[in-house]
Amino acid sequence: MRSNGKIIGIIFAVIIAVAIIKYLGLLIIAGGLGYWGYKRSQNAKRENQKSKLAIVLFSLAGIFFLAFIGNLTNVKQQEANKAPTVPAKVEQTSAEPTTVKPEQTSNVVSTSVSKEETASEQPKHIPITLIAGTDGDTFKATVQGKEEKIRLLLVDTPESVKQGTPVQPFAKEASAFTLKQLKQGNLSLELDVSERDKYGRLLGYVWVGDNMLNEMLIEKGYARVAYINPPNVKYVDQFKEIQATAQKSGIGIWSIENYAQEDGFNQEAAQKVTTKADSLKNDSNAKESKPKVATPKDEVVQSYSESRESSSNVYYKNCSAVRAAGADPIYEGEPGYSRKLDRDGDGVGCER
């Protein structure tokens, strides 16, 4: 019993020593225990006995020696890891929930792109070639030798080709604008995190040279910011700022009260404008028999009711008037376009 008490006392002493001593302390303890064990084994040999204490001491010496080697390795690793690291910059974007159209609620397919790669890599622009336009926010193009249908991310233009839905205000204008830009060539597609929707369409931001088509549609008042479905929200904050400016200016879809809303385009508001436009047209036909009085041509701001009748009903005295109305640059076929505003004859008037 006395021998066991000594062993327990030694073990407690060793534990305390381990807690206090680091680095070389472990090696010193291992050496001390080894030497003690050696002396005990020599005394036991002289008495022709086996010393259990010597075996315990040798075992503890070996354990402390191994602990010393392991501790030495850990210290070297800690010193190597002290080099400063620059954390990857993570861009935080806010995603606001919005009610979306059933046919365009997309179950996006996630791609295996790590956060480190997303933060460090520059946006990749894939060259594309236009095949045909569909509407304001969809078109067909050749992408890496394959025909693809491309849907512009984070924007929504009025419907012009959807079955069962009448042509909505500014739908044709948006389609014409998109096709006009795409025909300029030098097109590229920038993908976000998820590449496709549940219909198999490629989702992305389309660049015409150095200008983004998604952004231009919002800026001109032909599209609203919509379908905010994370993780594809790279430019959502930027788009919302541009939309706020277009709303304030009251151009395009924002010229009709309560038309563009968070859940889509208000068909009732559009119907009121259509009815008013037809009424104005009938009044105009009734007045044709009366003598016309010449009046000075004033600067006119484009509205949907005017554009439905004829582009000749919208008149801009000069490019200053076009810019004041927020309609620059003005494209051939748009209300108010005239050859005198397009001196170089390229179909785009009042270019800056």
Would you call 220 exposed, middle or buried from its count of C-beta atoms within 10 A (0-12, 13-18, 19+)? Answer: buried
Q: From the centroid of its chain, how far is CA 278? A: 42
pTM beyond 0.75: the answer is no
Q: Which of 40, 151, 196, 224 is catalytic?
A: 151
pLDDT in tens, 75-88: 666 665 554 433 33
> Of 40, 159, 219, 334, which residue is the catalytic one?
159
Mean pLDDT of all residues in 33-54: 79
Per annotation, catalytic residue among 148, 190, 195, 201: 201
Highest mean pLDDT among 178-187, 256-265, 322-331: 178-187
Q: What average pLDDT does the segment 289-303 reach?
A: 43
343 catalytic residue (yes or no): no
**Owner of token pair 């005394």:** 43
**In degrees rounded to 5, what are phi and psi of residue 56?**
-65, -40
The rounded Cα 252 to chain-centroid distance in angstroms is 25
Residue 159 is a catalytic residue: yes
